[in-house]
Amino acid sequence: MNNNVNRAPEAKNKKIVWIIIGLLVAALGALVYLYLDQRSEMTELVEQMTIEKAELEEEYEDLAIQFDGYQQMDIRNDSLQDLLSREQQRVQDLLEELRQTKASNARRIAELKRELATVRAVMMEYVRQIDSLNATNARLTEENIQVRAENQQVKAQNTHLTHANAQLTETVERASMLEITSCNLTMLNKNDKKTRMVRHMRKLQFDFVIAKNITCTPGLKDLYARVITPNGDVIGEDASKVFAFESGEIPYTLVQQIEYSGEAYNGTCYCAWTEEVQTGFYSIDFFCDGNLIGSFPFQLKK
């Protein structure tokens, strides 16, 4: 009788032990499964990051090649040349860092990807400035040749304009210089209504924005504009319509007086059209305080 009583607790204890063992085995199995599942996910993530890293390296290498190409351009502008060289070195440094960064370092790879976008945007801005300065220099140089043939007295101006690129660089760097950041074109018909047909166009409307510049002296200012035809002629060119620029005088299309306070300025000017419209690429250059403050190309087509 006593033996049966003693065996009952032992059997119960063994049952509890086996239950605990079973639970431990189940828990261990679950942990193994979670570990293998997580390891599989980590493997896939590392593989994906490896691919992204390789693609990012290719983008950096392509950007480095673009910088090499731009360095071969005839920039003739020491300041922009130095800036371009600095950004080129920055690309090389970031590329080297990317190559040494482990594919598992997703955070740093994401940062390097953002750095790439920033450098690319900076490069495009420098290239835009180079193209603008070179185009302006070429146009002014051509005008110098014409003026020199007409009047020996303007020979000094021709010498200055031959070096206009260097002088314009210094002008751009002056903090007090105004800058037109955007210019939109609208064609108007004889009733001053908007038209899309060039043959109906009788007037051009230019809506422009002068950037905020608190270092510029406020007050009334004369804003000159020169509309250049595809042949390089100045619309409305007249011997009596000239203004001072780079120790000389050059013709203008229109002049408008503005009151600048140092804040952003939204303005509009109009160019009347009395001759047959020539299709092609034009440009409008804005001058104020003896400085070129904006140059914008536009196209008139049938």
Q: List, for residues 16-39, the tens digit of each pLDDT value.
A: 777 787 777 777 766 766 665 566
As a whole number, mean pLDDT of residues 209-225 equals 93
Taken in order 153, 156, 157, 158, the sign of the CA dihedral is positive
Q: What percent of the chain has pLDDT over 90?
A: 30
**Res. 213: pLDDT tops 60:** yes
Please give the C-alpha separations between residue 230 and each of 183, 196, 233, 284, in angstroms, as whole numbers: 19, 20, 7, 11
What pLDDT does 124 receive? 76
What pLDDT does 94 receive? 80
Report the distance separating Cα 49 and Cα 43, nearest Å: 10
Report the distance separating Cα 150 and Cα 148, nearest Å: 6
What phi and psi, each to the nearest 5 degrees, are found at residue 146?
-65, -45
Structure confidence by residue, pLDDT tens digits, 51-69: 877 887 788 787 778 777 7
Within 10 A of 87 (CB to CB), how many other CB atoms are there?
Answer: 19
Helix axes 155-162, 106-150, angle to 10 degrees: 160
Higher pLDDT residue, 111 or 28? 111
> Do the beta carbons of residue 293 and residue 284 sit within 8 Å?
no
What pLDDT does 270 receive? 95
CA geometry: angle at 222 spanning 217 and 225, to 5°?
125
Higher pLDDT residue, 121 or 168? 121
Mean pLDDT, all residues of the chain: 79
Per the CATH hierarchy, to which homologous superfamily does domain 176-300 belong? Answer: Immunoglobulins (2.60.40.10)
**Res. 269: pLDDT tops 80:** yes
Q: Structure tokens of 298?
A: 């536009």
Q: Is 245 helix (H, G, I), strand (E, B) or coil?
A: strand
Instruction: Report the amino acid identity of residue 174.
Output: R
**Res. 265: pLDDT tops 90:** yes
What pLDDT does 3 receive? 56
Structure confidence by residue, pLDDT tens digits, 128-151: 777 777 777 777 777 777 777 666
Residues in CB range of 277: below 8 A, 6 or more apart:
198, 199, 201, 300
Which residue carries 């904006």 as its tokens? 294
Domain segments of the chain as ranges: 2-129, 176-300
User: How many CA within 13 A on the CB side of residue 170?
Assistant: 6
| CA proximity to 215, closest of 141, 271, 289, 270 | 289
- Which range (77-86, 100-109, 146-155, 207-216) has the least confidence? 146-155
- Which range (7-16, 47-56, 266-275) has the least confidence? 7-16
Higher pLDDT residue, 291 or 9? 291
Report the distance separating Cα 65 and Cα 67, nearest Å: 5
**Res. 79: pLDDT tops 80:** no
What pLDDT does 182 receive? 94
| CA proximity to 73, closest of 135, 116, 8 | 135
Taken in order 207, 237, 274, 197, the sign of the CA dihedral is negative
What pLDDT does 172 receive? 47
**Res. 104: pLDDT tops 50:** yes
What pLDDT does 132 receive? 73
**Res. 112: pLDDT tops 60:** yes
Report the distance separating Cα 188 and Cα 273, nearest Å: 10
